[in-house]
Structures are given as structure tokens and as C-alpha cells.
Amino acid sequence: MESSWLDCSRRNADWIVLDGYGFHAQDQREIRNTGSKLLVIDDMANLERYDANIILNQNFHANPANYRLTGETEMLMGPKFALLRQEFIGRRPQERNPEVHRLLITLGGSDPEGAGLMVLEALAKIDDIQLEVLLIAGSSNPHLDRLEASSKFARTRGHAVNVQHYTDDMPGAMAWADIAVIAAGSTSLEIAYMGLPALVLTLADNQAPIAEALQTLGVADSLGWYNKIPADSIATSLHNLAKSTPHRKTMMTQGQALVDGFGAKRVVAAILKQYHQERDIGANNENAG
């Protein structure tokens, strides 16, 4: 990794961006020593210190006070700075169906613990609402055969279940759905932008604060850890969300207010502002000399 940023410095890179859990405080210091400016994308705030020009944490629970800084650092905190994929921009619905007919289930690329199976089990317990269901299993999901079997049982309860290994049009799937069940990861930023009411399961430690923030902000209902909630409780939460139009409307309004689609532009603007400030300082110094 070190050789990569040194190569960037030799090419006179104005900025270097670090995004990954494998980088350390020493890496940041070495980059700054090359003369390049540094943007760190970090949602953990777990390093002993941060030595960056800009720190970006786009999560709902982002708090600048959690970061130990060595110098002057611009903090871009919260979903206002969400780096949504370009295919989402401009595709969010302005309205949602007043009645729920379509359910999207997406729990990440692999779901090794089989949380999707629990959701299908819960779905089979709902027999007074007939739902069209799209479950995006993830291309590396190890439970595809069991998901297919569980989906057949859910169909006997009147639900039309379609299990897909992956999709290349997630914005389309989110626009199609009336409600969703998701994992509390980066997908939460996408459902907020799309105004898609959702139930959120926690599948990993770093998702717990995201789920809590979504609940607090009214963007989604947190069900807690996937392995601690019974299928009956998931079924009850699904049923309640489907039946409560005002609650879904609140989720849509809150989500779209927090994630407006201009996050990437705000991050670029912050970078360009520092770039121009640095250039103006250099020009003034030359003129003074």
C-alpha cells in the first residue's frame, strides 16, 4: 500500500483518498509527509489518532467528537455527505403506494448466517396480506437451495416470492418495492434516498449503531440482531409496517430529507475549496517574494 501512495506523490497528486479498515495512523502521517493532501473515509473512529485534511463519515450516527485529531481537520459528518452510486441519482419516487403489495429483501452479498431464511419464515406466518416478494440473495449466498425451498413454502401462504442471486438495478428494485427488509449497512443510505420504508436487521457489530440511529431518526424500524429476534416478531413488525400508512410516510419523508443525493458534490466542493485555498496562499507568497 505504501508504494501506491508514494507513486501518487511522485506523480504530483494533489489529493490521496484512503478508504479501508486496513489503514493505520502511521499510513496517514506518511502520506501527509509526501506533500499530498489526504481525505480519509472512516466510519469507525478507532485509530489512536487521525492526521488528515478531511475525514468523511457518511453514516447516520457519525460524531466528530469521536475522532482524535493531530491538527486542523475538516470533518464531513453524516448522511448529508453520502456517496451514493450514480445510478441512484434522480431515480427516487416522489410518492409511494398507500397500500403495501411489494416487499424487497436484501441482506448483503453473502448472508452466511442465513438471515434471509428467517425473513422468509416470518413471511410464511403472515396470511392476511398477500405480498409480491423480491429476495436478492447475493451472488455468494451459501443458502440458495434452502432459500428456494423456503420461498415455495411462503408461496403456499399466498405470497409470490422471487429469489434472485443478484441484481444490476438496485435503484429499480427499491423504486418497485413498497417496503423492505435490509441489513444495517450502506444499503440504509440508499433506502433513505429512495424513501423506501424498511425494517433493519443487524448482522455485524459495525451495523449496530447504524440501526440504532435509523430508529432514532425515524428512517427505519430496527429489529435488532438477526439471531436474537424470533420469526414471530419479524412477522409482527412486517405486518405492522404494511398496515401503517402514516408510519411509512414518515420514514419516506425523514429518509429523503437526510439523504438528498448531493453528498458527493459536497465532498468534491470541500476538496476543491481546500485546493484553491492552498493555491491562493502559494500565489500570495510568490507575489510577496
Q: In sequence order, what DSSP letters do the residues of 147-167 get, joined into one string?
A: HHHHHHHHHTTT-EEEEES--
pLDDT given for residue 283 in this prediction: 55
Task: Give how far Cα 4 sits from Cα of 27, 29, 38, 144, Å.
Answer: 11, 15, 14, 39
Q: What is the pLDDT of residues 142-158, one digit of tens each?
A: 888 889 888 988 888 89
Q: 21, exposed or middle or buried, with CB in 10 Å at 0-12, 13-18, 19+? A: exposed
Is a pLDDT exceeding 60 seen at residue 3?
A: no
Q: What is the pLDDT of residues 113-143, one digit of tens each?
A: 889 999 999 999 999 999 999 999 877 888 8
Is a pLDDT exceeding 90 seen at residue 176?
A: yes
Across all residues in the chain, what is the average pLDDT? Answer: 92
C-alpha to C-alpha distance for 58 and 186, rounded to whole angstroms = 9
Q: Supply the DSSP symbol for 50.
A: B
pLDDT given for residue 221 in this prediction: 98
Greater confidence (160 vs 144) lies with 160
Confidence of residue 198 (pLDDT cuts 50, 70, 90): very high
C-alpha to C-alpha distance for 66 and 172, rounded to whole angstroms = 36
Q: Supply the DSSP symbol for 218.
A: T
Query: What whole-number percentage of the chain has pLDDT above 70?
Result: 93
Q: What is the pLDDT of residues 244-274, one digit of tens each?
A: 999 999 999 999 999 999 999 999 999 999 9
Q: What is the pLDDT of residues 33-56, one digit of tens each?
A: 988 999 999 999 999 999 999 999
C-alpha to C-alpha distance for 242 and 268, rounded to whole angstroms = 39
Structural domains of the chain, with CATH: 2-84+261-288 (3.40.50.11190), 87-258 (3.40.50.2000)
